[in-house]
Amino acid sequence: MFTGIVEHLGAVASVALKDHGRSIVIDVGPLDGIAVGDSLAVNGVCLTAIEVDDGVVGVEIVEETLVRSNLGDLAAGDPVNLERAMAANGRFDGHLVSGHVDGTGRIGSVSRVGDEARIAVEVPGELTRYLVEKGSVTVDGVSLTIAGTVGETIEIALIPHTLAVTTLGLRKPGDTVNLEVDVLAKYVERLLESR
């Protein structure tokens, strides 16, 4: 389980193609305490560390993950949002994030006002029912509050800190982002369907 509070902006060190997926090595910088078998959210996708060596972590990405996320677009040198799994005795920031990405959206526009920004994200139609104004959404692993919704587009207001310490400060129109809707909304929907 994660919270959507990005701990570090890492970088892809290398990408190797496999028959049905990819192996990626990530420079995790100052993140410590990661061991083989641990979960690590990379742009919001929960991945398992299969190799850990002196500030770099190797992960494998299967076809299902490539289809549902933007991780297939990663190349050496690309920045990535990183978050270690939440410790049971840790402080809870952000919101409940599973790291199980629901799909991808597309950046429609980026408007800058001083140090702040508003980003419009075009969302797949099947996810819009889970997205409400002032509700939670995870975009590339970042826990955010939805500032507004219009049809199949959500708008996010970003503070200078978020722009500086996550990949969202680098995003431009047309970019693909990972989306995870609020898991509680999905459970509520399922419970109501069974009544």
Domain that holds residue 121: 103-193
Q: Report the domain count for the chain.
A: 2
% of the chain residues with pLDDT over 70: 100
pLDDT category of residue 74 using cuts at 50, 70 and 90 = very high
Strand partners, 21: 18, 62
pLDDT of residue 26: 98
Question: For position 150, which CATH number holds?
Answer: 2.40.30.20
CB atoms under 10 Å from CB of 104, counted, come to 22
Number of alpha carbons in the 13 Å side-chain half-sphere of residue 128:
13
SS3 assignment, position 171: coil
CA distance 179 to 14: 24
**Among 54, 71, 53, residue whose Cα is nearest residue 62:** 71
pLDDT computed for residue 69 by the predictor: 97
pTM: 0.93
Does 74 share its domain with 130? no
Q: What CA–CA distance (Å, rounded) separates 111 from 3? A: 26
SS (HEC) of 95-135: CCECCCCCEEEEEEEEEEECCEEEEEEECCHHHHHHCCCCC
pLDDT at 180: 95
| Residue 66 within any structural domain of the chain | yes
Beta bridge partners of 60: 23
